[in-house]
Structure 1
């Protein structure tokens, strides 16, 4: 990891307002996500950040939904526009994979419309049997 960055899974370091703005206003997958929904997702997940080592400013975010025994889903991976191109995304995914590796998970999944090259560096590949997987579209109002 570059010396000017540090990685953490400390939930107290998270800049929840910044994370919400990034995802709700700048991402293609969570556009318009309400703050309460984002906070609930953070609270129910294992969260990671990359920060500027001098200022402490959060530069990137990712969360993992996992049972910590068999499965993990890497999601909401985001690098601030001004921090792109300096290894922040690599540092983030490297830190997440290092945190997950000792768990011995059978499978770690992600869905992405971009950055395939980044994830391939960490062993991600297209699904071998995509026809085995199914998805149910979400319900927008709680029951």
Structure 2
């Protein structure tokens, strides 16, 4: 990761970069700024910075840091893709000392299965056990 570094210090993170990307993503398009800020403040966040200290990537975990985590909002900005940074980011998350011993880490992805499979993620064995309340238009109604 020459020239790049990963931080979990929320005070270093650039909310505008995060919001710009997430609010136009397929999974959270139109998310209100207040909702995104609250999501960041209540999660365990990771950010990647370039050599000029510009934030170029992000991921957050919704977790109790003891038994369970849900990985969300993973991204690398377009100009820094294809450099292995998403792999470095996921590796850092999986190996982080505060996340060892978790019984389950989950995520949802439309198009990055290959990335996550490299770290042991697999399709749900018994999807009939899982339930959800899914409100795909919640950001459009508020």
Structure-1-length-normalised TM-score: 0.91
- The CA RMSD over aligned residues, in Å, is 1.6
2:120 counterpart (90, 112, 123): 123
Counterpart CA distance in 2 for 1:76 and 1:8 is 16
Deviations 1:70-116 (A, max 9, x none): 10000011110111101111111111111167530000000000111
Q: Which runs of 5+ in 2 are unaligned?
A: none
2:43 counterpart residue number:
45
Query: Cα gap change, 1:60/1:71 in structure 2, threshold over 3 Å: closer, same or farther?
Result: same
Q: Which runs of 5+ in 1 are unaligned?
A: none
Secondary structure in 2 aligned to 1:72? strand
Counterpart CA distance in 1 for 2:86 and 2:128 is 30
In the TM superposition, 1:37-76 aligns within 5 A as 37-52=35-50, 54-76=51-73
| 2:65–2:99 Cα contact (<8 Å) kept | no
Q: Once superposed, which parts of structure 1, at least 4 consecutive aligned residues long, lie more than 4 Å away?
A: none
